[in-house]
Amino acid sequence: MRQDSRTPVGIITGFLGAGKTTLLNRLLHDPVLKGAIVIVNEFGEVGLDHLFLESRADGEMVLLSSGCLCCTVRGDLVATLEDLFRARDEGSGQLFNRILIETTGLADPVPVMQAVLAHPWLSRICDLAGIVTLADATQIETLVEEQDEALKQIVVADRIVLTKTDMWPTAERDNRRASVERFLRSLNPVAPILDAALCDASLIVEAGVFGETGKRDEVRQWLDEEALGLTPHDHAHDPSRHGNVNSFAIIREAPLDPGALDLFLGLLRQTQGDKLLRMKGLVRLTTEPERPLLLQGVQHVLHPPRLLEAWPDQDRRTRLVFIGRMLDETAIRALFDALTGTPRIDTPDRAALADNPLSLRRG
């Protein structure tokens, strides 16, 4: 059950030919998607994807037919969302309880997320309900090497869905799947990896840990210490192939002062925002130790934090997950320690960072 009345907005992405439309066609018949509305876009002057999606009596297809949803017509996405919500709330439009955005295969999903997270009105009425990335199992490794968009689509995913695994010879299927999964986990160690043939709609639309806050197993998976490899290089990275993508977690036993957390997040955005692709986590505050604060960030944009009703398990520690490109892990940890009162040799403390007249936080 959802914790609030905000409308979940999910993103389905994947490089060209990954099978997004095929999967959506199958899932749209699932009762779980009753009342959902789908925004479809594709790259090019004339939109065609909506012609391949079967129409439904209870849903509406919204096509952004010119340009790429995440760049040249990004404003159209915001306008479309605003129009849909206003028409629904005024009684002149269609009722819906969920939005799915299918991006073009050439899209960088980060600006799509930012369009929702950074909008002053949409961020209050929408809940980013996860990013599902479809990955063509037969060529995803090559695509990631050659296409920057394919890399980002994997790195920021809440859930990865393998497609075309049936194209592998039966005798080689298990070994090939294991190899592809190792590769994907080196880029995104915490996103569950599913097979498209075995997916139902609930596994797709409830992909976001932070879209459906009651899904405690999902929260645990994102914050799983073994998957994250909390000691340096515990999980397999191949620096010759994708060494500029790194992920790590910060864990803290003691509750955090809200002011210190605010300072940390502000300086993190200013110093690492261009490198930080994704941040997620639960924070234990001194003011509300029994209710975790839910954080989600996309580059320099932070989704409005919110308190959950309860912790997902018995672990009450602060756990923050960072995924990005060439993130300065040492600097981020030092900044966190300085602002949260953990002493370190030859590093400034919170007072020095907050009160320094040359600080980025001043002015």
Cα–chain center distance at 95: 26
pLDDT at 257: 95
**For the domain that residue 243 is a member of, what is the CATH number?**
3.30.1220.10
In a shared domain, residues 232 and 131? no
Q: What is the largest CA-CA distance in the chain?
A: 66
Question: Domain containing 268: what range?
Answer: 218-355
In a shared domain, residues 162 and 309? no
**Model pTM score:** 0.72
Question: Which residue, 187, 212, 237, sits at the end of a domain?
Answer: 212
**For the domain that residue 83 is a member of, what is the CATH number?**
3.40.50.300
In a shared domain, residues 64 and 190? yes
In a shared domain, residues 203 and 260? no
pLDDT at 259: 93
- Distance, in Å, from the CA atom of 321 to the CA atom of 324, rounded to the nearest integer, reads 10
**Cβ of 72: how many Cβ atoms within 10 Å?**
12
324 DSSP β-pair partners: 246, 276
- Distance, in Å, from the CA atom of 185 to the CA atom of 208, rounded to the nearest integer, reads 18
Q: How confident is the model at residue 128 (pLDDT cuts 50, 70, 90)?
A: confident
In a shared domain, residues 18 and 122? yes
In a shared domain, residues 44 and 135? yes
Whether the pLDDT of residue 254 is over 90: the answer is yes
Question: Which residue, 212, 246, 278, sits at the end of a domain?
Answer: 212
pLDDT at 326: 85
Cα–chain center distance at 230: 20
Question: Which residue, 183, 212, 241, sits at the end of a domain?
Answer: 212
In a shared domain, residues 194 and 90? yes
pLDDT at 135: 95
Q: How many domains does the chain have?
A: 2
